[in-house]
Amino acid sequence: MSNLQNDVICFYYNIQDLAEHVFKLTSYAGRMFSPEVGDYLLDKVKLTHDDRDIFDSFLQDALFRVADELSPFAKYLPEPIYTFRTYDNATLVYYEDGLEATAGLVVHNRNTNKHYLTIKNTELLSEEDLLDKEFFIETPHFELIELFIEKLAWFNERAIDSADEAIKNALCYYVIYKWLVAPFPKEASYYMNEYDVNMVLLNRRLNSQNKVINRRARYF
């Protein structure tokens, strides 16, 4: 989905909806596999609700990649140009030594891929501090991701919906690529290609101009 406010365009996606879409796509993925792949291995192709932690990790990789592609359209916006939000609308920050964690922030530990909701203001001096239940509680998965770009003067607003769809597709296809690339690199290349196709489409849509095309009349 997308939202246009002043000079900023926000693309936002419900993470559970993205997960369900990926689960569905991977349940069909076996159809493109070679006959040599046995039924046992085909079961390994499917991403399911039991794999939600892995999905979240791959989705973050996908988001960082898409955000990097969108960075030329967000030169004058504060960094980062994306956010994760939890069910309680908290904002994500990444752990680093000396981080001032204020109540309400969710701290992501990249080393463990776990998230902790700050319940009391504190300074983080080591990763072990995240385990102090006086200040933090481990929090479940994020529910919403947002991507922000500038609305340039010449931007064609009619291209927003197709750009939104391209971002959604790119995120999902990259997650599937990451899931398959180790056990099935040949089949994974299809999803990487689909990611690339959608990123090309996205760039075309974001570079489309809001202008009337005047065509010269031809007389016969």
Q: Is the dihedral of CA 199, 205, 207, 213 positive or negative?
A: positive
Residues 113-129: what's their mean pLDDT? Answer: 88
DSSP characters for 21-89?
A: HHHHHHHHGGGGS-TTS-HHHHHHH---GGGHHHHHHHHHHHHHHHHHHHGGG-TTSPSPSEEEE-TT-
SS3 176: helix
Each residue's pLDDT tens digit, 23-76: 999 988 766 665 555 555 566 788 888 888 899 889 999 999 999 999 998 888
Each residue's pLDDT tens digit, 154-210: 778 888 899 999 999 999 999 999 999 988 888 899 999 999 999 999 999 888 766
Distance of alpha carbon 10 from its chain centroid, rounded?
13
161 to 10, 77, 165, 166, 168: CA distances (angstroms): 12, 21, 6, 9, 11
Is it true that domain 88-139 has CATH number 2.60.120?
Answer: no
Higher pLDDT, 72 or 113: 72
Taking 60 as the threshold, does the pLDDT of residue 4 lie above it? Answer: no
Each residue's pLDDT tens digit, 64-109: 999 999 999 888 887 778 887 665 666 778 888 899 988 878 888 8
Task: Give the contacts of 211 (CB within 8 A, at least 6 positions apart).
Answer: 154
Measure the CA–CA gap between 98 and 34, rounded to whole angstroms. 52
Residue carrying the six token digits 């000079």? 7
Provide the pLDDT for residue 220: 38
Whole-structure pTM value: 0.70
Where are the domain boundaries for CATH 2.10.10 in the chain? 88-139
